[in-house]
Structure 1
Amino acid sequence: MTPTPAIRRVTDWLVRGVRNGSANRLPVALFAVLTLGVFAFIAIADEMAEGELRKIDEWLFLSLRTTGDSPQPLGPPWLQETALEVTAIGGFPLIMLTLAGVAGFFIVTKHYGAALYAVLSVGSGALLSQTLKQYYGRPRPDLVDHLDTVHTLSFPSGHALVTTVAYLTLASIVIGFLDNRRARIYVLAVAVLVAVIVGVSRVYLGVHWPSDVAAGWALGAAWASLSWLIVHVLTLRKAPDPQDEQGT
């Protein structure tokens, strides 16, 4: 089915200012991450709903506590403070401020598609997180006192999911403008590292079960890959724009 001129104009505007990395291998990699992420999330969710993960969750959870004194997390006091500061990276206010700053930069530089892509990907990821929390209704861990304030349910971890979506989405935009392979790998590695340490901090602070975080990582990677794949496909279908050629 041939898209109408109106639909083509909308899709062309969406991807304007967004560039691809490796056009040949990227779709395969994104589809693989999408498939594996969804499969992993469903598997974890099923096991969690059946109570099969309780023992593993408790063992991993308590492994971050001082032996014989489970309420006390491992490490010196400054490590707790560091964990609180790290976990704030995945908090809603900081994610929104970062997203607003990045989107504003793309708008000022007339990369409107990149700005819209970032907002839609991260915004929909946050909405997905809250919807799933209400659906599964899993309570927060009750083995120790929480070292961070929480107001929502536990599964999946919103910090892990939204941080993964946000930083992978921003990394995907940056990677599109980089020709150096090492630079692209570095940007992607930083995004993954941020998502990992934020997720670990949630377990360390006693506010999430490990399976909450694992599910958040899996679905976050899948959602970011889906968003990236959609934009990649639209970019390939976009007719060459003279203005884009002049701006490169």
Structure 2
Amino acid sequence: MNNKLYTQFVGSCSLVLFAFLGYVVKFYPVWIQPFDQVITNGVRSLYPTWNPFFLWITKFANPSTIVVLFLALLFVLIYGKRYAEAAWFSLGVIGIAGIFNPLIKLLFMRERPTLEHLVTEHSYSFPSGHSTASMVLYGTLIFFVALFIQNTYLKRGVQVLLGIWIVLIGMSRIYLGVHFPSDIVGGFSLGLGWLLLTYPYYQKQRFVWRFKNKQL
């Protein structure tokens, strides 16, 4: 119970952070400019040496890549009769990353940075779709690692690498000039809030599926 309350508390804080950022971006954008400027200057200090690296990294959260990875993992989960996992995974990727994020952009209508864009983007800036999608997809994988890897050290290692991967994808969007840092934090907090608030319900549904299978 304590773990459930802690998880949901952190998830709630993540959504509160998202709501706060959204409010500031919509009504008081000047407040957040110093934060955006400092982080952007730090990340862009690597320009242009790291162009190939960040152009490669960002592709792992492009819509086409997300769709391919989603379908591949969904097939693995359904083939393994992990229906609770498949349902939770689908709700996150389709519902939050695929539908909610693009729609919520229309509420804030934040224009993208005026820096040189190293990739072409046509939608609004807040929250970052790449950040939300990477947090939801690769963040879900962090939880699922335990299903496929039993060795504790290997499991933790893979989870840490996935966490670093998510952060690098967020950094790539700043480096490429298509997002403000607050867009990245907003996308991350939205995705993390979803994962942590719904994780206990996924666990409960997983238990129900296991119980039914044992009865059969």
**TM-score, with length taken from structure 2:** 0.87
Structure with bigger helix share is 2
Task: Provide Cα deviations, 1:13-42, integer angstroms capped at 9, x if missing partner.
Answer: xxxxxxxxxxx6642342132122112212
**Is the 2:15–2:189 contact (alpha carbons within 8 Å) kept by the matching residues of 1?**
yes
Query: How many residues end up aligned between the 2 structures?
Result: 213
Unaligned runs of 5+ in 2: none
Determine helix, strand or coil for the equivalent of 1:43.
Answer: helix
| Paired residue type of 2:112 | R
CA RMSD of aligned residues (A): 2.3
Indicate whether 1:56 and 2:27 are aligned.
no
- Answer with 1 or 2: which has the greater Rg: 1
Work out the percentage of aligned pairs sharing the same amino acid.
25
Unaligned runs of 5+ in 1: 1-23, 67-72
Instruction: Report the alpha carbon displacement of residue 113 of structure 1 after superposing the two structures with TM.
Output: 2.9
In structure 2, the partner of 1:74 is 47
In structure 2, the partner of 1:47 is 24
In structure 2, the partner of 1:137 is 109
Task: Provide Cα deviations, 1:140-182, integer angstroms capped at 9, x if missing partner.
Answer: 001x210111121000011011110111112222324555443
Distance 1:220 1:179, change over 3 A: same
**TM-score, with length taken from structure 1:** 0.77
Distance in 2, matches of 1:115 and 1:135, equals 30
Determine helix, strand or coil for the equivalent of 2:211.
Answer: coil
Distance in 1, matches of 2:101 and 2:93, equals 11
**Is the 1:48–1:54 contact (alpha carbons within 8 Å) kept by the matching residues of 2?**
no
In structure 2, the partner of 1:197 is 168
Instruction: Report the alpha carbon displacement of residue 111 of structure 1 after superposing the two structures with TM.
Output: 2.4
In structure 2, the partner of 1:208 is 179
Instruction: Report the alpha carbon displacement of residue 45 of structure 1 after superposing the two structures with TM.
Output: 1.8
